[in-house]
A and B are shown apart, each in its own frame.
Chain A
Amino acid sequence: MRQVARILRVVFFMASLMVFPCCRRDLADQQHHEPMEASSVFPDGSASRTPPEHTLARGQLHEDVLFYQGKMGGDHAAVFPAPVTRAQLERGRERYDIFCSVCHGSAGVGDGIVVQRGFPPPPSLHLDRLRDAPPGYFFEVITQGRGLMYPYGSRVEAADRWAIIAYIRALQLSRHATLADLNAEQRKKLEDSAHE
């Protein structure tokens, strides 16, 4: 009897040795779906789902029409949802440089690297038409796209879209600044740099 137990123990030990590499693999690749992993469960083969039509996740009701649609009384909002701050402008510059400058160029004239490689140039952001356009118009174009421009609503958060619009306003202003806009200190700095 003890002999049998000993043999069984040896067999069990050897079997566990054979199983060991499999265990490692099971733990390294466990039975759950990682973001965007392939899945046999759904017809499109993707584990990540897009929400079914006419449904919303919690926190995505987005009732604030001005903030999430750039609209006021059915028209493009002529104002920003909140006063523009320096931090927002800096955030806007960063996001503009990431997402917009590839086509619109870092100064907004429509000469980005992708345009240089053959994409039809977008209109300059310094056209009178766009200087006069309300912030809500830019919000709509960024969110939904326009012409050859694809929508960025799913790629750039609403708050960042507003920051980008604020920065576009700064870019537009930069082409129309006059000496009178500067205070004494800034004017001196400008004059010094002109003499260098």
Chain B
Amino acid sequence: MALPALVLGVAALAWAAHAALFSPYATVVGVPVDQPVPFSHQHHVGELGIDCRYCHGGVETSGFAGFPATETCMTCHSQIWRDAPMLEPVRQSWATGKPLRWKRVNDLPDYVYFDHSIHVQKGVACVSCHGRVDQMPLTAKAHDLHMRWCLDCHRTPDHRTQPSDQVFVMSDPPPAKQAPTAHGTRMEDCSLCHR
């Protein structure tokens, strides 16, 4: 009597822990981050068709994708929506030189080395990690960024990469290919990401 109850209890606990750990509450996947200005990628990318690199200019050449300076916002918003109350923090930042305090949506732990440029150069599309940003009125994390998720791709990178002209295209990525994977690469080495 006692043993089955114990086993059941332990199983229930394990299940609850797993469910909690991978719940959107813990991973914040799909939960928009509160920002100083409610910036809509859906509007700027989906409706206007502005290229990712217009604002995230470092993504092809640097580890950090780059975040637009207030100057970039003002390039259009000095004329368009110039009196919108929503954009007051942007105008304040432009007038005072104090940067806007955007909050990070995707923040990897510091014990992980990550470089945007190599992923982009090797054909990992923006959507593969960031999801359909062009459909997000407010920006949210698209994946949990757990190590398991990174390894899904690192184990079979050839199945996920796109031709270079598809990397910045915002459409659902095609299903993983079944191409043979080159083995013997360093793609799964611990030290690749944990330096």
Contact = CB atoms under 8 A, between A and B. Distances in A.
Binding between chains A and B? yes
B71 A117 contact: no
A131 B127 CA distance: 39
B116 to A, nearest CB: 11
Interface residues of A, number: 28
Nearest to B81: A118
A65 interface: no
Residue of A30, A114, A151, A155 with most chain B CB atoms under a 10 A cut-off: A155
Nearest to B102: A36
Contacts of B80: 114, 117-119
Interface string A174-193: 00000000000000000000
A102 B67 contact: no
Contact of A38 (B67, B101, B110): B101
Interface in A89-104: 97-99, 102
A13 to B, nearest CB: 21
A44 B79 contact: no
Given A99-B54, A114-B48, A27 B78 contact: no
Contacts, number: 60
Contacts of A123: none
The range of chain B's interface size is 20 to 34
Contacts of A151: 71
Interface of B: 48-51, 53-54, 57, 64, 67, 69, 71-72, 74-76, 78-80, 97-99, 101, 109-111
Interface of A: 27-30, 32, 34-36, 38, 44-46, 97-99, 102, 113-114, 117-120, 148-151, 154-155
19 contacts: A27-B110, A28-B109, A34-B64, A35-B67, A36-B67, A44-B97, A44-B98, A45-B99, A45-B101, A97-B51, A98-B51, A113-B49, A114-B80, A117-B80, A148-B78, A150-B78, A151-B71, A154-B69, A154-B71
Ranked 3 nearest A-B pairs via Cβ: A28-B109, A30-B110, A150-B75
Given A29-B110, A34-B64, 17 more contacts: A27-B111, A29-B109, A32-B110, A36-B67, A44-B97, A44-B98, A45-B98, A98-B51, A102-B50, A114-B48, A114-B76, A118-B79, A118-B80, A148-B78, A150-B71, A150-B78, A151-B71
